[in-house]
Amino acid sequence: MILPRTFRSQARAHRRALSPEAALRHGESLALQPGLLHLLESARTIAAYLPSDGEIDTGPLIALLWERGKHVFLPLLRFAPHKHLAFGLYRPDTALLPNQYGIPEPVGTPVLDHPGQLDLALVPLVAFDSQGHRIGMGGGFYDRTFAYLKAPGAAPAPLLVGLAHECQRYPNLPAEPWDVPLDGVATERAFYSFNDKANAP
Ligand SMILES: Nc1nc2c(c(=O)[nH]1)N(C=O)[C@@H](CNc1ccc(C(=O)N[C@@H](CCC(=O)O)C(=O)O)cc1)CN2
Ligand SMILES: Nc1ncnc2c1ncn2[C@@H]1O[C@H](COP(=O)(O)OP(=O)(O)OP(=O)(O)O)[C@@H](O)[C@H]1O
């Protein structure tokens, strides 16, 4: 059995091995995926993220969201009362400052009161599998932020959709009890939906 931490660092190294040109090319293809574009139609308030550490380039998709008049938010690291994320409005003219991991965050913009105000959350990941399991950077930020979705009848509920390179897809990842499963994942090659909520009509 390969240790989770070893797996995470190997998968991160695999992701980082892609060139910035490949990450951008993949990001352009991602922004053309019909399954993803379909979900965007019914979403108005959308969380995205700025890429880091070899992640697929979200620039083309964010440009498309702005073009379509969507309200785009970016994650803001919060450490109290526990590690979680808030979401700050991101517009083309928003000032950004790097957070403690060097990822730019909006400053001085409106912050959502609750993640349930999002219609759709586009989620970064290190690895995913065909059941919607996700391995992230290991901070538990996304899991804690969306843990409330696991309560029966939790509402309102944003759709959770991972963005990734195809090379981040693995056959079977171990599921941890606190993991919040993804509804879908979009890559440069396909849109994978893991339940009816993320299905094209
Ligand atoms: N682009 C992007 N933004 C994101 C995430 C992400 O995965 N990708 N996150 C997803 O949750 C949150 C940030 N989580 C992170 C957790 C750990 C590390 C990281 O690099 N950890 C270093 C140790 C750094 C240190 O302690 O100073 C490491 O593991 O090597 C980065 C981001 C919010 N924003
Ligand atoms: N809902 C939760 N409540 C309490 N602790 C949690 C919760 N979710 C995750 N954790 C803790 O956070 C730690 C990191 O979790 P995990 O390795 O699944 O993070 P990750 O999904 O890879 O990270 P990230 O979401 O930041 O990308 C674990 O040790 C776990 O115990």
- Phi, then psi, of 114 in degrees rounded to 5: -155, 140
Q: Is 139 annotated as a binding residue?
A: yes
Residue 191 in contact with ligand 2 by CB distance below 6 A: no
Tell me the percentage of the chain whose pLDDT exceeds 70: 98
Q: DSSP alpha helices (H): ranges in 31-160? A: 34-41, 59-67, 141-145
Beta carbons within 8 Å of 37's beta carbon, 6+ residues apart: none
| pLDDT score for 118 | 98
Which CA distances in Å does 35 have to 75, 106, 110, 161, 171? 24, 29, 30, 11, 21
- Strand pairing category for 84-89 and 71-78: antiparallel
Superfamily of domain 4-198: NagB/RpiA/CoA transferase-like (3.40.50.10420)
pTM (two decimals) = 0.95
Residue 124 in contact with ligand 1 by CB distance below 6 A: yes
DSSP 181: -
What is the per-residue pLDDT across 13-28, written as a single tens digit (0 to 9) for each?
A: 999 999 999 999 999 9
- Looking from the CA of residue 102, the nearest atom of ligand 1 is 31
3-state secondary structure of 60: helix
201 residues of the chain, pLDDT tens digit each: 566 789 999 999 999 999 999 999 999 999 999 999 999 999 999 999 999 999 999 999 999 999 999 999 999 999 999 999 999 999 999 999 999 999 999 999 999 999 999 999 999 999 999 999 999 999 999 999 999 888 877 777 899 999 999 999 999 998 888 889 999 999 999 999 999 888 866
CA of 180 to the centre of ligand 2 (A): 10
Q: Which of 16, 135, 137 to mutate to test the pocket of ligand 1 (most atoms within 8 A of CB)?
A: 137
- Which residues face 109 on adjacent strands? none
